[in-house]
Amino acid sequence: MDGQDAALVRATVLDASGRNTLHFSSHNVTFRIVSGPGMIQGTANGDPKSYRSHTSTSHTAYHGLVRAVVRVTSAAGLSANEKQLLTSMEVDDNGGGGGGDGGSDGDDYRSCASTRTTLSYDDERDVVIEAASPGFAPVRLYIPTSTSREEASVLAVAAKGAGRPVDFFAR
C-alpha cells in the first residue's frame, strides 16, 4: 500500500449454469468499491470499435468480458518520512502545491480537481469491489492488501514464486 498499487479485475458474463461465458453478451457491468481504500480508475471491454469513455465505473461487455482497473487510495505502507514528503506535495483546492504559488500549473490541477483522489495514510483495510449487471446477482471480490514491503513488494512476491511451475491454462 504505497499509493501506487492497482489491480486489473475481469468480470465474465456466464450462462445459467455458471460455467460457460456468454460470448455474445453485451450486458452493462457496473463496478463499485464496497469498502476499503480503493477507487475504480476506469473500465474497458477490449472492443476495438468502442469509443466509450474508459474513465466510467461501468462498461458494456464485449464477448462476455469487461475489465476494471482498481487503484488503491492508501499510502499506509510508506515510511513516516515518505508520508511527510507526500503530504507536503499534495495539491490544495486552489490548484497550488504544498509550498508553491499555484502558478501556471494551477489550471491543470483545477481542471481535474473533480477526479483527484486524496490519499489516506492510515487505512490498511482490504479492498472489496462489487460487479453488478441488471438481471444478475451482484458479485463481490476481496482484494487483499498489505503494508509489509518484506512480504508484499513486487520483488518479494516474485521471489516467493521463483522456481515454481506455472500452469498458464489453469488445469
pLDDT (tens digit per residue) in 132-143: 999 889 999 998
CATH superfamily assigned to domain 1-76+122-166: Immunoglobulins (2.60.40.10)
Q: What is the DSSP letter of 164?
A: -
SS3 21: strand
Partners of 13 in the beta sheet? none
Nearest Cα residue to 132 out of 140, 124, 143, 120: 140
Q: Taking the model in full, what pTM does it have?
A: 0.72
Query: Are the C-beta atoms of 115 and 8 separated by less than 8 Å?
Result: no
Give me the residue spans of the domains in the chain. Answer: 1-76+122-166, 79-120
Q: What is the pLDDT of residues 43-94, one digit of tens each?
A: 999 998 888 888 999 999 999 999 999 999 888 888 888 888 877 876 655 5
CA distance linking residue 116 with residue 74, whole number of Å:
14
